[in-house]
Structure 1
Amino acid sequence: MYGTNYDDVTEFLGDWGPFQRRTSLLLCMSILSNGLIVFSIVFLAATPPHHCAIAPNANISAEWINYSIPLEEDNGEMRYSKCTRYKLDVIKLLSDNGSVPGIDVNITEIEQESCKDGWEYDRERYVSTIVSEWDLVCSDAWKVPMTTSIFLIGWLIGSLISGQLSDRFGRKIILFGTMGVQTLFTFFLSFSTSWLMFSALLFVVGFTIISKYVAAFVLGTEILSPRIRMIYSTVGISIFFAVGYMLLPLMAFFIRDWRMLLIAMAVPGVFSFPFWRFIPESPRWLLSQGRVEEAEAILRGAAKMNRVTAPEVIFQPLQEENHMKKLKRTNICDLVKSNSIRWITIMLGFVWMIICIGYFALSLNTSNLSGDRFLNFFFSGAVEVPAYILSWPLFHFCPRRLCLFAMLCFCGAVLLVTQLIPRDFSSVSIALEMMGKFGFSVAFCIVYPFTAELYPTVLRNTAIGACCMACRLGGIAAPYFVYLGTYYKSLPYILLGSFCVFGGLLSLLLPETYGMPLPETIDHMQTIQRCKKKQTSIQQVILH
């Protein structure tokens, strides 16, 4: 049967010939722009130090200008108020009378007013951001986190739709289609004339981020041999995402204007368009659609490139079986059609959500750490590189369920310990948060290929898209977990740590795929559930 011997049939290609090297490298390079864009909002929507502007025609003495902004306590330091100023008409009257602040007049007794003349922003760190461009501060400060939420909602919709489109129309066309849309709309973002326009365009960019990543991930997974597949899905594609992640603070350091930064971020996408000629469609997907001749043509071209001889007949015995199945369409409803698949989908959804909450919460919190924001962000990306490197031997030699269980429990333990560290030991807290980011990165790197191994070819992209949708729900919730710290500092760590331990235990209930071939149909998927009966009994206990 095709579902059990595809890897054996295509073994003549070898593991790591020129075809595999070129395809995997180009697919990885196409993801680099994702790393640039995902957390770019940290710099695009950064809020510089600011205070109320004083009208240039107010005709106030320099001495009174220095005292026209109230001082407020901020984290133990006295700073200028960000949203209020003393009433200018009173200040002007006192200035004209020659009164001296603090001597002739107690300035704290002067009535205050809002920033009617706008704000003045510190330009030392950022020349311009969307915050300083459209004054997204004080009463409009809610628009900054809303911008991130809109981006993630686009990501959520993309997770829901793109997988089904990819399973219907092919991996390659979705990969390059979303690549083109992402590049164009990132460029269009730099010409935004209002916050509303910026948010609408950013929604589209968010839609393409996950669509492109999942298409590239699945395409490489289905083309490469089992041994190389593990390296590609754990280390390869993730390393290039991390490279883009680390390039972002470097670009933001040298390009301090948000419009120019967006133009620079669009450039890598332009150079990815020529990859269309060299990246083929997935032969596995073509076979699932009954397009046997096209699949054979791709494999014969790969054999020629690898300088090996392809068999005279590759898939001939399977043509009749695939022809009977090519009219059978799958959709997202198939993820919950049978009891066993339904439980796998539900449990994976919770695991993905928990990983995403932790990963995004720690990533977004990087800007709140002490020290230089650019360096902190760079280190936050750099810590992912050893995490991805470690994920490969773990995925290669260890059962998938145990890897997820170990990483999630490790993250839970680190977060629960972090909230016990006294405030005076901030460096220890930062180190523990980086360790948590390391663990979440490993878990993310494992859960993607694990999910791809659980679902069949006809449903694989849809399944990963659905799991990414659950992941995005976690991403949307992540900022609010961080916000809970304003009420009780330890609450985010306690909640995240507890959820991680729960997710680790939940992952033990999933089927094990270590050493199993990729399933091609839903029937094949059911055959790898070696613990099906045991899981059903556990689930019945949970339900009751």
Structure 2
Amino acid sequence: MRDYDTSVAFLGEWGRFQVIVFFMLCSTILPNGTSSFSLVFVADTPAHHCLVPEVNLSQEWRETVIPMEEVNGELARSQCRRYRLDKVRNLSEMGVVPGRDVNLSSLEQEDCLDGWNYSRQLYQSTAVSEFDLVCNKRWRQPLTVTIFFLGVLVESFFSGVLSDRFGRKPVLFGTSVIQSVFSLALLASPSWEVFCVLLFCSGLGNISNYLSCYVLGTEILTGNARVVYASIGVFVAFAFGYMMLPLFAYFLRTWTGLTMANALLGILYMPLWWFLPESPMWLLSQGRVAEAETIVRKAAKMNRVEAPEKIFADYIINAETPEETFVQRYTLLDLLRRKRVAATTFIMTFLWFSQSLSYYGLTLNTSQLHSDPYISCFLSAVVELPAYFGTCFAVRFLPRRLAFLLTCLVSALSLFFIPLLPQSVLGVAVALEMLGKFAITAGTSILYFYCAELYPTGLRNTSTGMCSMGSRIGGCIAPFVLQLNFYVKHLTYVTMGSMAVLSAFPLLFMPESFGRPLPETLEQMPKTQRLKCSCIARREPSKHVMESKL
């Protein structure tokens, strides 16, 4: 039986059909880049201090009523405490001058009983200022971000199964609608609790459209077009969407305006439903040979090439010889039923968890890197571009395990060096963090490519969704990992660097997919090989030679 790539080789790799599909799919990724990290601004905590109501206070006492406290070795106004207002008012009415007639350290303090005054220098409003997620409610801020990623986690479990069962295209557009609708519903949230419920629902549609789009492109495109799409196209489109985020946030300045912009951006590409085809490879895995041939014949017409009389003759189901049928229907249990496949899935899930913990940790930390969070976020987005182009080079010439190992080493070294730097060289620390972000971004994109190459067509989206669940768990934990710095300085960087080191060891037990065609059955999945140390591996023949039992 010929493999799919051989069957459609007459189309070429970069015809008109492939170019149009390439750019349409990339355009659907843009909203993911803006919405996935919008919480960097939506849930950021602006500078604040206790609100002082309009009471009879002298100018001296009004400027002194907020006590000073030491923060990172510097004196700053307290964010959560003030001097007892009734005492201060009495002293003001008596004409007592603060600091001269009374020792401020002897005055009794109290919580912010009248609310908070939030700085509008950076933001007009955020979810934190909207629902007062500060001081004794400070724990709600990272929990808000975690709830969003919990929605993404739950979605990852079901979307892969749905995509392999009902198709890549319905899941791609269906989850996009879910994300846009619930993002708009967030604007009407009357309380933090309702906001979190709607944010969870918005997370249900956040990343599955990305995964479905990724798998759809890798199955429609072949050869060099597939490599460019899977290693550059998808990720560069995501990076451009990410780069648009700080621009939207800078000009809108409110969490409601930014949320609405993200939702409307997702709605704009809905008309592509009538132009994007379903994956012919998936249709073949479901036995829908006629539909797959119709799509490929339209592609041949667009590319102005002549299609053979029977494109998928080897795939036609013969009722008299069912053992020769190509249709392979898999379920989620097939990832766990065979020992070697289960081990591969478990290790891949851990790798996604480790990379995601560091990736989202560094991404969510961008608002703390620079005095201007818009610049920090833009730099964090820009650094992803060279990472993706580096990934394109890596997946073309390097074995997947070796390429991923190199990213682990670079990210670990850069993150471990940050705590060793003195406070005076902040620019070097930011550069090292960007280097770590570069390596982790490259490693994450390699994992997408690696995972798509390991699993057969009938399980490709299910396996990607299953493995990406580890990524979502990492995203859920990342906001709380950032809080470690409040207890032990630089503990966040040490934790993320340690996870990068731990990710290197399981690679010894992973199979290598470099130079092999996409598997269409479990029997064609590559098996574990020794990790090669050569810089460039020799490509294997593009035929299915993996016939050993799993």
Q: How high is the TM-score relative to the length of structure 2?
A: 0.92
Contact 1:126 1:256 in 2 (8 A): yes
What's 2:33 paired with?
35
Contact 2:285 2:329 in 1 (8 A): no
What's 2:492 paired with?
492
Contact 2:16 2:303 in 1 (8 A): yes
Contact 1:351 1:507 in 2 (8 A): no
Contact 2:317 2:326 in 1 (8 A): no
Are residue 85 (structure 1) and residue 43 (structure 2) matched? no
Matched residue type, 2:278: E
What's 1:287 paired with?
284
Unaligned runs of at least 5 residues, structure 1 = 535-544
What's 1:15 paired with?
13
Shift of 1:98: 2.2
Alignment of 1:434-473 (within 5 A): 434-473=434-473
Q: How many Å separate the matches in 2 of 1:435 and 1:230?
A: 25
Contact 1:348 1:507 in 2 (8 A): no
What's 1:482 paired with?
482
Shift of 1:468: 0.6
Are residue 231 (structure 1) and residue 225 (structure 2) matched? no
Instruction: Supply the RMSD in Å over aligned alpha carbons.
Output: 1.9
Q: How many Å separate the matches in 2 of 1:93 and 1:249?
A: 47
CA deviations 1:325-361 (Å, max 9, x no partner) are 6886422221111011011111111111111112112
Matched residue type, 1:19: F
What's 2:123 paired with?
126
Q: How many Å separate the matches in 2 of 1:406 and 1:327?
A: 39
Alignment of 1:106-505 (within 5 A): 106-320=103-317, 329-505=329-505
When residues 253 and 490 of structure 1 are mapped into structure 2, their CA distance, relative to the original with a 3 A threshold, is closer
Matched residue type, 1:27: L
Shift of 1:490: 4.4
Contact 1:399 1:514 in 2 (8 A): yes
Q: How many Å separate the matches in 2 of 1:458 and 1:321?
A: 20
Comparing 448-457 and 309-318, the one that deviates more: 309-318
Q: How many Å separate the matches in 2 of 1:173 and 1:376?
A: 36
Matched residue type, 2:87: V
Matched residue type, 1:409: L
When residues 407 and 380 of structure 1 are mapped into structure 2, their CA distance, relative to the original with a 3 A threshold, is same
Aligned length: 529
Q: How many Å separate the matches in 2 of 1:445 and 1:321?
A: 40
Shift of 1:530: 5.6
SS in structure 2 opposite 1:332?
Answer: coil
Shift of 1:439: 0.5
Shift of 1:115: 1.2
Flag the structure with higher helix content.
1
Matched residue type, 1:20: Q
Shift of 1:428: 1.4
When residues 485 and 96 of structure 1 are mapped into structure 2, their CA distance, relative to the original with a 3 A threshold, is closer
Shift of 1:409: 1.6
Unaligned runs of at least 5 residues, structure 2 = 533-550
Contact 1:388 1:442 in 2 (8 A): yes
Q: How many Å separate the matches in 2 of 1:74 and 1:144?
A: 20
Shift of 1:425: 2.0
Matched residue type, 1:48: P
When residues 452 and 381 of structure 1 are mapped into structure 2, their CA distance, relative to the original with a 3 A threshold, is same
Contact 1:50 1:121 in 2 (8 A): yes
What's 2:542 paired with?
none
What's 2:50 paired with?
52
What's 1:514 paired with?
514
SS in structure 1 opposite 2:363?
Answer: helix
Shift of 1:72: 1.3
SS in structure 1 opposite 2:65?
Answer: coil
When residues 495 and 114 of structure 1 are mapped into structure 2, their CA distance, relative to the original with a 3 A threshold, is closer
Contact 1:163 1:464 in 2 (8 A): yes
